[in-house]
Structure 1
Amino acid sequence: MGQLQNTNNIVGYLKYEGNAVQEGIMGAEDIISSLSGFHNAIKFYLKKEDPRYENLHFDLPVKVQQGCLEFVVPLLKWGTIVYAAAAIGQIAQNDFKDVTSKDIFSYSLKCIKNVIKIAKHLGSFNNKNFKMRSSLGNAFITIYNDAGKELLVHKEMLDMYLQTPPSLLEKMASPIATERELELGYVDEDNNLQKETISLTEKYIFASTEDEEEILPELIHAESVELVGEVTRGNSSTNKLGIKYKEKILTCIPEKGDIKQYKDCIFRKCKIYGVVNREDEFGNITEKKPKIIFYKLIPIDNIPQTLDLFSLH
């Protein structure tokens, strides 16, 4: 099997190992699919990490190792990886002149690793309605799967899981086969290697279902709605709320302002006024699950707020 490079020289990696991978050889279609999926996942979390990355174009640096198929993200300086559009080129140089590929990509790799771990624990990428409780001063969340088993995760990584489209990691998982599993890892701030695997028996978790039914089809894109539900969570860093409506957790985004103004609504029955949004990250109206862009949120249960799970401050 191939050996990982010295962790001082890399940011992270994606590799496929097993008896089905001989001398780093795998079908061209699988290689292209996996690399494309890896690149798309990195880009998705880059935009979540820092809005300034939105308009930056980059070539993801990878190296193919022998003995297994391994895409290695090496430690490089900023100027060798990122190409900014002409209008923001100088800004990019000034803002990021001292950063490296580890500064840029390690957060995305950390997100992918933790999202894989959470999805495996829950047994489905579509499972967004599960029991959970705050832990360790609200910095972490304990989540429970259908078997009642616990997993302790940082609340930021749980939020990334909840925001991740179910199909995002499908291309990465597609080459997994008998005697060929996926392993993804990254080097953390203490220079320790953190990794997660996906085996053949877990591959189905990351495969999208083409015939998946639209969630709450009565909520039509661009239509105004008034809904009653329980506010289950909030995240000030993403400026989003979660509302339980007809046993589904809907992401709700204020049309204007900060969600901190709604902190008294957490864990309360509320009426929300807004517009249905089914756009995906590219602006296409393809999302099975709707979001609500709201302009008013009013508690209707007359119960005073006493617990703030997501610390909206």
Structure 2
Amino acid sequence: MDDAEGSAVGYLKLYGDAVPSGVISASAAGNVLLGLDDCIKYFCRKQAPGLAAIDYEIPVKTAEGSWIVWIQEHALLVVTTVGAIGMGAYVKKAAEKMAENDFKEIGLSDVVRKSVDALKKLVDVLKHTKGDRDWASRLHWGAGAGVVGIENDAGEIIYIPIEYLKWYMEIPPTMLKRISGAVRDGRSLAIGVKSGDGTHFEATTITEADKSFFGHQPAANDDGDFLFPEMEHGDLVRLEGKLTRGNENANSLGLEYHGHVLNCVPGIGNIKKYKSALFLHCVVEGTVSRLYKQSNVAERRPTIIISDITPLESDDNQLSLL
């Protein structure tokens, strides 16, 4: 066991055939980390509103065949309006003092571990009920002090702390969407939390078959491949590729991206404002639309609603083709 694992209160791991030697795209890694940050902060706020200003450093370690984020027990920093680097020792003390007031006999590492445990158990509950959040009619009391059971359609019961249920009832429906967005065919997500006695990690997993339980819309059922499943409807993206076509009548551009041409449509205005970028390598920023043609069917190929295009090269002799 190395230092990162030994001092961890929990972890996230992407693994499978699509994660060769721990390598994944920067966008997938970034979304997982941002999703983790959102979830941890939410559960910390539920434990004590006074911790709303605390941010987390999450060391990242990769290993053969997987990509791992170890959540360290001493990974808390306070973010303040005066937060100069030289204030590090001061704000750490402030965080410790706040924790003393809010948690009495427990420390900040306990708060983080409990947040990871609440996250792990939320995944278990949503898998248990297949994404159904109407838990009020499924509750079973009397299993023990501080515990409540949730029944699924098969009559099976899963037990969680009552305080967790209160947190889950108020959680935004899409809270786990970002953290599970990197899951696809050949790439699953494991969430582990250190056991109460500290001897092992208890884990749960999210597979491609589970994604619809966490706010993801199932793909349209057709014979073609569902291109770039990590690009979901409403996601903000920054894609690097080559603009290969422009159609003024359709007011659209074509972006060659990883072997496919994606349809790109300006969010505002006409494509003429982007004519200087045509046939050049560039960065296209915008919002993913999977419902561009039909409002109730997720299309197999995403459309990008453009907010900005930045050329990465110049062509002084480029013809005006628009």
CA contact 2:58–2:71 (8 Å) conserved in 1? yes
Matched, 1:204 2:218: no
For residues 73 and 100 of structure 1, do their structure 2 counterparts lie closer, same or farther at Cα, with a shift above 3 Å needed? farther
Matched, 1:64 2:71: no
1:133 paired residue number = 140
Q: Spell out the pairing of 1:161-180 with structure 2 (5 A cutoff).
A: 161-180=168-187
Q: 2:29 aligns with which of 23, 31, 39?
A: 31
Q: 1:149 aligns with which of 132, 151, 156?
A: 156
Q: Spell out the pairing of 1:220-299 with structure 2 (5 A cutoff).
A: none
Q: For residues 47-103 of structure 1, what are the alpha-carbon distances to aligned partners after superposition, in whole Å with 9 as ceiling and x for unaligned?
A: 00111102x24233221222211111123275xx33445599574353348986523
2:73 paired residue number = 75
1:252 paired residue number = none
Alpha-carbon distance between aligned partners in 1 of 2:139 and 2:110, rounded to the nearest angstrom: 31
How far off is 1:152 after superposition? 2.1
CA contact 1:122–1:146 (8 Å) conserved in 2? yes
Q: 2:38 aligns with which of 37, 40, 60?
A: 40
Alpha-carbon distance between aligned partners in 1 of 2:38 and 2:75, rounded to the nearest angstrom: 21
CA contact 2:7–2:72 (8 Å) conserved in 1? yes
Alpha-carbon distance between aligned partners in 2 of 1:93 and 1:117, rounded to the nearest angstrom: 32
For residues 134 and 99 of structure 1, do their structure 2 counterparts lie closer, same or farther at Cα, with a shift above 3 Å needed? closer
Q: Spell out the pairing of 1:172-191 with structure 2 (5 A cutoff).
A: 172-191=179-198
Alpha-carbon distance between aligned partners in 1 of 2:3 and 2:16, rounded to the nearest angstrom: 19
Provide the identity percentage.
Answer: 21
1:219 paired residue number = none
For residues 155 and 162 of structure 1, do their structure 2 counterparts lie closer, same or farther at Cα, with a shift above 3 Å needed? same
Could you tell me which runs of 5 or more consecutive residues in structure 1 were left unpaired when the two chains were aligned.
211-313
Alpha-carbon distance between aligned partners in 1 of 2:181 and 2:43, rounded to the nearest angstrom: 20
Counterpart amino acid of residue 121 in structure 2: N
For residues 92 and 76 of structure 1, do their structure 2 counterparts lie closer, same or farther at Cα, with a shift above 3 Å needed? closer
For residues 108 and 161 of structure 1, do their structure 2 counterparts lie closer, same or farther at Cα, with a shift above 3 Å needed? same
Alpha-carbon distance between aligned partners in 2 of 1:150 and 1:100, rounded to the nearest angstrom: 32
The number of residue pairs the alignment matches comes to: 205
Q: TM-score, normalization: structure 1?
A: 0.58
Q: TM-score, normalization: structure 2?
A: 0.57
- Give the CA RMSD over aligned residues: 2.9
How far off is 1:35 after superposition? 0.9
How far off is 1:104 after superposition? 3.5
Which of these two proteins has the greater Rg computed from alpha carbons? 2
Could you tell me which runs of 5 or more consecutive residues in structure 2 were left unpaired when the two chains were aligned.
84-89, 219-322
How far off is 1:7 after superposition? 5.1
CA contact 1:84–1:92 (8 Å) conserved in 2? no
Q: For residues 221-261 of structure 1, what are the alpha-carbon distances to aligned partners after superposition, in whole Å with 9 as ceiling and x for unaligned?
A: xxxxxxxxxxxxxxxxxxxxxxxxxxxxxxxxxxxxxxxxx
For residues 29 and 155 of structure 1, do their structure 2 counterparts lie closer, same or farther at Cα, with a shift above 3 Å needed? same
Helix, strand or coil: the match of 1:123? coil
How far off is 1:110 after superposition? 0.9
